[in-house]
Structure 1
Amino acid sequence: MRKILFFSFIFFCSLSSFGQQYIIPMPQHLEVLQQASFSLKGNLVIGRSTFEAQSKYLAHQLEGLLQSKVTLKKSGTVRFQKINHQVAGQHDYYELKIDAKGIVISASTDDAAFYAVQTLLQLVEENQTKGSIPALSIKDYAKFTYRGAHLDVSRHFFTADEIKLFLDYLSRYKMNKFHWHLTDDQGWRIEIKSHPKLTAIGAFRAVTEDVKDSKLTNDGRYGGFYTQEQVKDVVAYAKKLHIEVIPEIEMPGHALAALAAYPELSCTGGPFTVGTSWGVMDDIYCPKEETFDLLEDVIDEVVTLFPSHYIHIGGDEAPKTRWKACAHCQDLIKKEGLKDEFELQSYFIKRMEKYINAKDKSIIGWDEILEGGLAPNATVMSWTGVEGGIHAAKTGHDAIMTPVSHMYLDYYQGNPQSEPLAFSAELRLDKVYSFNPIPNELNTQEAKHILGPQANMWTEYITNFKHVEYMLFPRLLALAEVAWGTSNPDEYKSFEKRVIHEFAYLDRKSINYSKAIFELSGNIVSKDGKMYYELSTIKNDGTIRYTIDGTNPNIESPIYQGPILVDQTVTINAANFSVDRMIGSVLKQDFVISKSTGKSIQLSHEPSEAYYGNGAATLIDGVYGNKQYFKKNWLGFNGQDLIATIDLGTETTFSNVELNVVDQNASWIYYPKAVKVYVSKDNQNFTLVKEVGKEAISESKGTIKLSFDQQTAKYVKVEVQHLNQIPSGSTGAGSAAWLFVDELSVY
């Protein structure tokens, strides 16, 4: 990675007098000059230029920032000029020079002039209380032409004004692509005048628990859609911010909202309702002429609304269950000489690509469009990993890198105990910042096909726009630096300082954001037969204070000195303090102590490596798992039973065993079909004392309580039997069901 700051010792003295310049994304080259600074006092004059729109935009923004009149004249103290700059790998090149005489913005393109303005505005914000900007020379450019962010408005709906706010956030950090996910199983969000039922029916669904306080219709349904006039308005707004809006119309999968409106486009004929649960649905478009007719009508209207070169057609998570049982699909496979249903999907995508290409547009698809053969001119959006992007680039196709490992903003960005509900995975700020969009497997020529990175915001668990902001910030800042090409994992701490400094801007704008940078981490440890709760902080600064009575800590609370002994049912709350105020959020941990807590435990089968928790000890640590986050405090088994034997240490009297399980069928997770409890005094001869079946387990709502006559034993064996195969008619039918279990409590 190139060195992006160039300071000599004498320049450093000049910089120190003004403080560090906290610019995000960091410019490629920044030099502090010895000349006098540029004064921000008095009225500013901006010279008119070939970049007239940027002159006016800058004037308007500066008036708002400085609360003073900014004038546009033929010449001024702030000047724009056009330069020619064509160097491979340097996109939207600009130069920004500041000294006592004025500010000169030299730009190669209109886009570049806009990005120069964004840099200048950050410098003005940073230095306006000082009254002047230090003399600087910046030479800057983007490494990637595609710098994208995605927002799913199908799972939860956001207004056109909220979309504009999202665009504002992207533009500040020089992002230039907005991927608008407009259709899915849970809602069709764009008006199509030739097929009005797509929104009349497909844009609304029955109310679920998560949206009871959200946007509802008069008849109690949840949803909404954008009229074509609203779409045009958003697209025009984005254009002013130099952002290209890329619409996504899902096909052939994730089509349940459309099938609810037009069931004849399915393989079975329905009826269907707009989706109210998450996951992958078996009902997808049937590749018959009526389907292609409707989708072509949709494309005809979409291309008139979006000047983007791209139309995203999805192509992901399209189960072949219905196609395998569909006479029309099987006949079509034979007629077209296709090998299987995967090649039928490729046929579907290629046919739609040909139609879209005829409209002078190109398609983007998620990396499943590689299955069965890639469409000739398609761009691959590599999400399941980087492999799809590698394959695309090596075969001469463009790719956008958006892997779940680094680019999914619906994941927790901090400890789930301290964060709002999110998808069951973690993506922290440093992980985003560490992403290199160009895989090492590509040579120089192949790497040219990597257009850039994109982060995705899926909204299954994001019900309002303040939550969108929270999941976006501060990870958007890391994405911006990755996309601009100035991220350097070795300089992460320096980047983190700029992020924390940017929090002041977010506060001024009332933008919601995560403070996971300051969070505490809790770890359960066992020592000499006792259980302790160990606290630490990522930044290792400040003072940790805690309580054990469930109240929030304050400046008077005890200071954490070392691991806290946990020998009774308690709620430990802890937070990091700087001087007299709390920084970050409160870490809350409930401990429920039973006769099995902290005891020795053995498993007959190991859990899945992906859902291993802290091994067998996860089941007897006194902590109940979060049913929305399986990476911690849960053990996951795929196609296997849980058989756990607990050594209570001595013969102990008890009459109850409790355990927690999960039922999330859309994610292939099912309640067990039976649970059995055995007791023994010698770990050899076990006696069955209680058994419950499917009906009782279903009624338990996830907490299974088994009561029996009082027993005295040293060993307790709990057998939790998985469901075997997922039943027919359900998502993933025929596959092995997952079993998730947590906390075996003996009372």
Structure 2
Amino acid sequence: MKKKLLLIVIFLSSMSVLKAQKLDLIPRPVKVEQTSGAFVIPSLVHISIDKKAQKSAGYIADSFFKNTGINPKISIGKRNQKNTIRLVVDQKMNVPNDGYTLSVAKTGVVVKGKSHNGVLNGFQTLLQMSSAKDVKKGTIPFVKIEDYPRFEWRGMMLDVSRQFFDKETVKNYISWLAAHKMNIFHWHLTDDNGWRIEIKSMPDLTSKGAWRGPGEVLLPSYGSGDKRYGGFYTQEDIKEVVAFAAERGVSIMPEIEIPGHSRAVTASYPEIGCVTTQETKSVQGEVKNVWCVGREENFEILDGIIKEYSELFPFDYIHIAGDEVNRANWEHCPKCKAVMAKEGYTDTFQLQNYFFRRIEKIVEKYDKKSAGWNEILKGGELSPKTEIFAWQGVSYGIESVKKGHPTIMIPGQYTYFDMAQSEEERGHRWAAITDTKRVYSFEPVPENDLSVEEQKLIKGVQGALWSEYLDVPTRFMEYQSYPRIAALSEIAWSKKEHKNWDDFYGRLTNSHLQRLADLGIAFRDFPPTAIYKNGKITVRLPYEGAVVRYDTEGNEPTRQSPLYTNSIETKEYEKYRFRTYFNENAASPAVKVEKLPVANWNTSKVETIKISEDITDHIDKKAIWYLSFNPVTDEATSGVIKEISLFENDKLIKTYLPERTLKSKPSLRFVIENYNDNNKYRLDFTVENKEVKESAAKVDFIASPYQEPEVKVTSSMAENPKFPFTRLEDYNLETYLRTDVPCENGDWILYTFTTPVISSKIEVLTGIPHHPRFIVSDGHVEYSYNGVDFIKGDPFDYGNAFIYPKQAVKAVKIVITGTNNEPIMAGQDLRINP
């Protein structure tokens, strides 16, 4: 009996050791066998590096010291020493090129890779093991790991044109990618708003095209303001960064954005563009930003540029772009029309194909292969070697594969990290609201649409960070990148069948967020959830041990704000904001207090559901309320909602009869004017699911924080019929005014209320909602109590101004005192606080 008890104690003890040594590896390896015990790293540890990996010796030594605090002795090629860490290249290993094995035993550590990069991937795993939360500092748990990537291409793109990031920042970014076993850095070096690479045959590309601001060839944009802004990388800088990346197992694919997105080129060398009397605009509102296809000299110029690219970057591919080309320029250009006539083309997509086929030949001339965005598939066939980047959606990746091209999946709906991570955060929204969980949900291989052989043409997956809105706040580039890139790395590396969000999230929050902090990344932490019910705010922490602070006045919490510890009793829940703080650099967005949904449903069959809910406990004030129907997932959007009615004491307040699809995420406005504590409220609506598809949603009913008084908007500027002044009268915060031209000194916009409005604060915002584009940069706000006499208020700061009136306001005026130096100007609805 005693022997049995002893065995049980030993077994439980070994189990606790295993449990205590969670490795929390990201990306998740293919196979891990862990046993009890750990290798204790000697204070004079020796790392032996295979000669085939010796170019990374400095990086290995430095990284080991940063992660363990132990300064290793490095030797090249030595073997058979005890208590050492051996990094070995074995080209005969039966694993893919980037694969490795890792063995940790009492006598030492062996990392064996099929290639130099395989060794580095194993070394990254070793570093992660030594830094796991549950692993004792200075030790490495006993394990045997066999690991290799799912995809050969594991990439990330950084746009350095719209915002310029200096050489050291780019090198840091590459190091962070390497730490996640990402092997491709896609360097977006040129675009409309700045040319960032020195080309010796065309010096004006950087002496002129790398700068924007007053007196420059490029206008201010994307927050650069009324100062000279920009920069570029010399060829020596490029060589340094390429070598730096290679030491870390990362290849750099450079991009030259042609034939569109080329305003920096045509502003520096105007003759490169088309000569037309028609001034057409690109999707981004840029003019004269396209290379002239009919100008034969342009192909000689591009030959010279591509030659210099090929000499600077050893990687196989050069990305020649091809997205969002303003082909209307070609339609009005005599030279381009002449080429079309000569070749017998009937549309400009064929002309675009002509351009890219010629570029392919130039690229191949310098022993490189072409890559491009999925639009280059239009207009005709391309070389089967050309790699396609499917950014507009998975269906474009399928099209590319069906045409026989190697394909990289980079759909904006999942892997564009310029997308906002929540409704309240800064960032684009055109593709999706893309948080870390949504990134992790992406599956790059549409197995139902491709044969097994066709699936092999999907070479990998990539993310992209476009930099339009990375100018503020400080280090926002890092916030937008991580931990979303950590999720992307697991999509790219780990087996599909091993993907599990809860498991990933546990590894991420238990150890990996601290690793990101140790790397010096100002990442986005996960926000808490604050729920108001029965007079109390209760906060759910995003993970165990998270530090959450709060503010009681509607402001963003700071690191000095009170620490949340217990439920908070209050009737003013709307004023509270909560935020997770990880360290001095990393935090979550601030979040408002939520109320629980007033209704929900979940069905996957054809049926009609009539829902009637008593929502009396949910309504607590006289206000404008918005009812929103929010699908629980992207796939659960089947069905329509109709006959939506709100009752007060069984008396109808308002009804909406027309059908609204769940996919459109309808939001409906109700005004509750006669609220009192004794009123009873009921919500009725009908859901009709017409197909055998999933329909599931939560229904939220939220009081607007703003007033919506009747207002009339007029302006000195000509009205754009597509974005009329009435958009500033509807109090829809997602719609906006958009002019056809820049604003000028003397322009104005006037908001006149039918009845004077009492308000503690009026927010006057310009630019596109959520984005600092097309803002008023020179001007101020004025306000009037009688509609005749105006008081000068604050100047616009980054497109925004605020009014704190002392009595009822009859009118608000935007007064513009200078051009905004952008193609157009945009304005938004007033936000009128009670």
- AA at the equivalent of 1:706: F
- AA at the equivalent of 1:145: E
Equivalent residue for 2:669?
617
Equivalent residue for 1:718?
none
Equivalent residue for 2:121?
115
Equivalent residue for 2:754?
707
Residue pairs, 1:33-112, within 5 angstroms: 33-34=35-36, 36-53=37-54, 54=56, 57-64=59-66, 65-72=68-75, 74-75=78-79, 76=81, 77-85=84-92, 90-112=96-118
Matched, 1:250 2:257: yes
Equivalent residue for 1:196?
203
Change (3 A) 1:279 1:96: farther
Equivalent residue for 2:194?
187
Matched, 1:29 2:31: yes
Measure, in 1, the Cα distance between the counterparts of 2:59 and 2:238: 23
Deviation at 1:511, TM superposition (A): 1.6
Classify the secondary structure of the residue corresponding to 2:209: coil
Deviation at 1:509, TM superposition (A): 3.6
Residue pairs, 1:666-685, within 5 angstroms: 670-672=723-725
Deviation at 1:22, TM superposition (A): 1.8
Could you list the per-position Cα deviations for residues 390-441 of structure 1 after superposition, in whole angstroms to 9, with x for gaps in the alignment? 112122210000001110011122x343x44555641111111121211121
Classify the secondary structure of the residue corresponding to 1:137: strand
Deviation at 1:204, TM superposition (A): 0.8
The answer to whether the 8 Å contact 2:149/2:493 transfers is yes
Measure, in 1, the Cα distance between the counterparts of 2:74 and 2:245: 25
Equivalent residue for 1:390?
398
- AA at the equivalent of 2:390: S
Change (3 A) 1:393 1:86: farther
Equivalent residue for 1:639?
none
Measure, in 2, the Cα distance between the counterparts of 1:234 and 1:620: 61
Measure, in 2, the Cα distance between the counterparts of 1:10 and 1:333: 78
Classify the secondary structure of the residue corresponding to 1:234: helix
Deviation at 1:454, TM superposition (A): 0.5
The answer to whether the 8 Å contact 1:620/1:743 transfers is no
Equivalent residue for 1:364?
371
- AA at the equivalent of 1:38: F
- AA at the equivalent of 1:102: G
Equivalent residue for 1:496?
505
The answer to whether the 8 Å contact 1:147/1:453 transfers is yes
Classify the secondary structure of the residue corresponding to 2:392: coil
Measure, in 1, the Cα distance between the counterparts of 2:344 and 2:280: 34
The answer to whether the 8 Å contact 2:536/2:568 transfers is no
Classify the secondary structure of the residue corresponding to 2:590: strand
Could you list the per-position Cα deviations for residues 339-376 of structure 1 after superposition, in whole angstroms to 9, with x for gaps in the alignment? 21111111111111111112111111100011112411
Equivalent residue for 1:405?
413
Change (3 A) 1:573 1:194: same
Change (3 A) 1:619 1:596: closer
Deviation at 1:147, TM superposition (A): 0.5
Measure, in 1, the Cα distance between the counterparts of 2:334 and 2:564: 73
Matched, 1:454 2:462: yes
Deviation at 1:583, TM superposition (A): 7.8
Measure, in 1, the Cα distance between the counterparts of 2:738 and 2:306: 51
Deviation at 1:130, TM superposition (A): 3.8
Could you list the per-position Cα deviations for residues 309-358 of structure 1 after superposition, in whole angstroms to 9, with x for gaps in the alignment? 10101100012211122222222112112221111111111111111112
Measure, in 2, the Cα distance between the counterparts of 1:519 and 1:669: 40
The answer to whether the 8 Å contact 1:254/1:281 transfers is no
The answer to whether the 8 Å contact 1:533/1:565 transfers is no
Classify the secondary structure of the residue corresponding to 1:706: strand
The answer to whether the 8 Å contact 1:203/1:257 transfers is yes
- AA at the equivalent of 1:408: Y
TM-score by length of 2: 0.67
Change (3 A) 1:485 1:192: same
Residue pairs, 1:625-704, within 5 angstroms: 656-658=709-711, 670-672=723-725, 704=751
Structure 1 window deviating more from structure 2 (79-88 vs 179-188): it is: 79-88
* Residues paired across the two proteins, number: 636
Measure, in 2, the Cα distance between the counterparts of 1:175 and 1:507: 18
The structure 2 residue matched to 1:380, chosen from 382, 385, 388, is 388
Classify the secondary structure of the residue corresponding to 1:42: coil
Could you list the per-position Cα deviations for residues 125-154 of structure 1 after superposition, in whole angstroms to 9, with x for gaps in the alignment? 337744322210000111111100000000
Measure, in 2, the Cα distance between the counterparts of 1:655 and 1:109: 65
Change (3 A) 1:489 1:140: closer
The answer to whether the 8 Å contact 2:61/2:74 transfers is yes
The answer to whether the 8 Å contact 1:260/1:272 transfers is no
Measure, in 2, the Cα distance between the counterparts of 1:58 and 1:556: 41
Measure, in 1, the Cα distance between the counterparts of 2:712 and 2:276: 42
Change (3 A) 1:544 1:509: closer
Measure, in 1, the Cα distance between the counterparts of 2:268 and 2:166: 22
Measure, in 2, the Cα distance between the counterparts of 1:142 and 1:178: 17
Classify the secondary structure of the residue corresponding to 1:80: strand
The answer to whether the 8 Å contact 2:531/2:594 transfers is no
Change (3 A) 1:329 1:130: closer
Deviation at 1:258, TM superposition (A): 0.5
Could you list the per-position Cα deviations for residues 573-606 of structure 1 after superposition, in whole angstroms to 9, with x for gaps in the alignment? 234699xxx9844325899x98755695678999
Structure 1 window deviating more from structure 2 (245-254 vs 546-555): it is: 546-555
Change (3 A) 1:583 1:372: closer
The answer to whether the 8 Å contact 1:164/1:237 transfers is yes
The answer to whether the 8 Å contact 2:276/2:332 transfers is no
Measure, in 1, the Cα distance between the counterparts of 2:747 and 2:13: 69
Change (3 A) 1:123 1:490: closer
Classify the secondary structure of the residue corresponding to 1:30: strand
Could you list the per-position Cα deviations for residues 458-495 of structure 1 after superposition, in whole angstroms to 9, with x for gaps in the alignment? 00000277211111111111111111124668621121
The answer to whether the 8 Å contact 1:32/1:134 transfers is yes
- AA at the equivalent of 2:63: Q
Residue pairs, 1:279-358, within 5 angstroms: 281=287, 283-287=289-293, 288-358=295-365
- AA at the equivalent of 1:398: P
The answer to whether the 8 Å contact 1:259/1:272 transfers is no
Measure, in 2, the Cα distance between the counterparts of 1:166 and 1:459: 14
Classify the secondary structure of the residue corresponding to 1:106: strand
Change (3 A) 1:306 1:439: same
The answer to whether the 8 Å contact 1:94/1:113 transfers is yes
Could you list the per-position Cα deviations for residues 238-281 of structure 1 after superposition, in whole angstroms to 9, with x for gaps in the alignment? 11111111111011110111010111122236999999x95565
Measure, in 1, the Cα distance between the counterparts of 2:506 and 2:138: 23
Change (3 A) 1:152 1:745: closer
What stretches of structure 2 of length at least 5 have no aligned partner? 1-10, 215-219, 596-620, 627-645, 647-652, 674-706, 731-736, 758-823
- AA at the equivalent of 1:72: S
Matched, 1:587 2:597: no
Measure, in 2, the Cα distance between the counterparts of 1:313 and 1:334: 26
Equivalent residue for 1:520?
529
Equivalent residue for 1:635?
none
Measure, in 2, the Cα distance between the counterparts of 1:14 and 1:70: 34
The answer to whether the 8 Å contact 2:418/2:427 transfers is no
Aligned sequence identity (%) = 30
- AA at the equivalent of 1:101: T
The answer to whether the 8 Å contact 2:537/2:568 transfers is no
Measure, in 2, the Cα distance between the counterparts of 1:274 and 1:325: 13
The answer to whether the 8 Å contact 2:167/2:233 transfers is yes
Measure, in 1, the Cα distance between the counterparts of 2:659 and 2:333: 40
- AA at the equivalent of 2:503: S
Deviation at 1:609, TM superposition (A): 8.3
